[in-house]
Structure formats: C-alpha cells, structure tokens
Structure 1
Amino acid sequence: MKKRYIPDLIKQMADCEANYLRLMRLMPDIEQRDEREFEVHWHQQQSIVRLRVEERFTYTTTILVSQSFDNSWLEAPSLVVRMYHDARAAEVICLKSRRHFRGVYNYPNALMHQKDEKAQLNQYLGEWLSHCLTHGQAAEPVYSFS
C-alpha cells in the first residue's frame, strides 16, 4: 500500500519566504516600477528574464515572471507569482495560461500533474531567481531603497 502524500508546509513556506526576498532584491522599487529585464548568459546561450507587475494592491502584488531565449525552439514557462507583503512570501499561483494549481493532486490524474506540482514550481522559481541574482545583468541599474 502506498503512503499518502503529505505536503511539507514548513519547507514550502520557507521556499515562499526566500522567493519573496529574491524578488525584492531583483526589484526593490516594485511599488514604483512595473517591469524589469535581466540578461542571463551561459555557455553560448543568452536569455532575457522579465519581471512584470500585473496587479498591485495594498497587501499583494502579482508578477509575471517570464523568460525568452534567442533562437530557441523551446519556450520556457511563464509563472504568475503572487507576493504577499504582509506575510513576506511569494508563491506561484498559476502559469501564464492561468491554469491554477492545487496544493496536492491525486496520482495518477487525468492531466498527469505530480502530487507536489505546486511545491516543485515554487522551488523552480527559487532556482530561477537565484540564477538571475548570481548571473543576471540588468539593462539599467537596480537601486535598493531599504
């Protein structure tokens, strides 16, 4: 008998808190700015990572995080990320296609989602943002207002 999947809420919350801090480092002027782009180079490849504010409210900001490659046949996923300023957390809420994710899926399922798909996407976002912080080059200076 298979063990039932139980999400690790402590790890998921830690990932969301770390992603919030990464986003604030990449876009510290988020209250005044609607978009920022970074060029990321590795080997012979170059990509553009774009952070674009889609919604801005008192306690939340929704950002579209997208990536485009030069001469690539593969399209990277565009993630819709909700930043919760009061909780200082940021989580992937859906893909650009606006397909929302549940916290847990039964497996197997009709769309073949992984049991922990949302947790995997939040971890992926963290790796992507960390890569931008380490290897990204902004087209214009990024000033911290803290």
Structure 2
Amino acid sequence: MMKRKYIPDISRQMAQCEANYLRIMKLLPDLDSCDEREFQVSWPEHQAYLRLKVDERFKYTSTVVISHSYEKSSPWLETPGLVVRLYHDAAMAEVICMQRRKQLSGAYPYPNRQMHLPDEKVQLNEYLGEWLSECLNHGHTMETVFSG
C-alpha cells in the first residue's frame, strides 16, 4: 500500500483562522485596552474556565495566550495553553505554538521525533475554534460588571 503525503488544505485553514479571529473579537471586543478576560463555561455535567490573556500588541498583530482548566482538573494532566497570533489587517487568528514549545510548522513528515501529527497545526486551530465556540455558546465572563 502506497503512503500518501499530507497536503494542507489552505482555503480550509484560512477559513478556520478567519472564523477564530471573529470569535476572539466577540470575546475580547476591547482588545486594545483589556489585558485578560476569563470566562466560565457551564454544561449540565461540569464547568470549565477559559482565559484569554493578551501577551503582545502591535499595530497589525496581537498575541493572545488562551488556556483552559476544568472545575475538577487532574493534578497530573496539564491542559495546553495555545499561543494565538491575531493578524488585524487580514482578520485572521492562527495558533502559532503551544506554551513552552517552539513554533509549529504547517505540516510534518510522519513519523517524526516530536510525535507531531502531519496536520497538527490544523487540528490545533480547529481545537481553538471548538473552545471559542463553546465559550460563546455556553460561557459567561467572570468579571464584576457593577460594584456597589
């Protein structure tokens, strides 16, 4: 059986990055002035927390670290933090790496030493999209709106 080389679907990836940008901008409409926002995402069986932390701001790009944790998290299983680059001129958001890792490549040969999947970057961008969608559909901000 002949092994087929992974060929990235660029238009699908761009659509995912555009959708993620819109989702992030809905969650952080005040990106220029807000440094961090945390959301509680609730389902009938459990709760999770999603944190968006602005790491860098430039004229055409921003970098946001997005992490999540569960109400009942395991002490031995760490959830990955995603480093996301926002390209404001192109209205796209792309996962560039996971916390404490080097920048991701668009495609990897398989097998490889780092155990990356051939489409690891695509999967991480889809994973980000799922978390952002869950936050938009089932989440609420953890900030105090009124103080008295």
TM-score range, shorter chain: over 0.9
Who is 1:68 aligned against?
69
Q: Counterpart of 2:114 in 1: which secondary structure?
A: coil
Q: Distance in 2 between matches of 1:137 and 1:75?
A: 23
- In the TM superposition, residue 141 of structure 1 has moved relative to its aligned partner by 7.5
Aligned position for 2:117: 114
Q: How does 1:63-142 map to 2 (within 5 A)?
A: 63-73=64-74, 74-140=77-143
Q: In the TM superposition, what is the alpha-carbon distance from 1:140 to its structure 2 partner?
A: 3.3
After TM superposition, what 4+ stretches of structure 1 lie above 6 angstroms from structure 2? Answer: none
1:20 partner amino acid:
Y
Change (3 A) 1:72 1:53: same
Q: Does 1:56 align with 2:57?
A: yes
Paired residues in the alignment total 142
User: Are 1:12 and 2:13 counterparts?
Assistant: yes
Query: Normalising by structure 2, what TM-score?
Result: 0.91
Cα offset for 1:45?
1.8
The runs of 5 or more residues in structure 2 that have no matched partner are: none
CA separation in 2, counterparts of 1:113 and 1:80? 17
Percentage identity across paired residues of the two chains:
58
Tell me which amino acid in the other structure corresponds to 2:112. Answer: N
| 1:30 counterpart SS class | coil
Further displaced range: 86-95 or 40-49: 40-49
Give the TM-score of the pair, scaled to structure 1: 0.92
Unaligned runs of 5+ in 1: none
Query: Take 2:72 and 2:15, find their aligned partners in 1: how far apart are those partners?
Result: 36
How large is the RMSD of aligned CA atoms in angstroms? 1.4
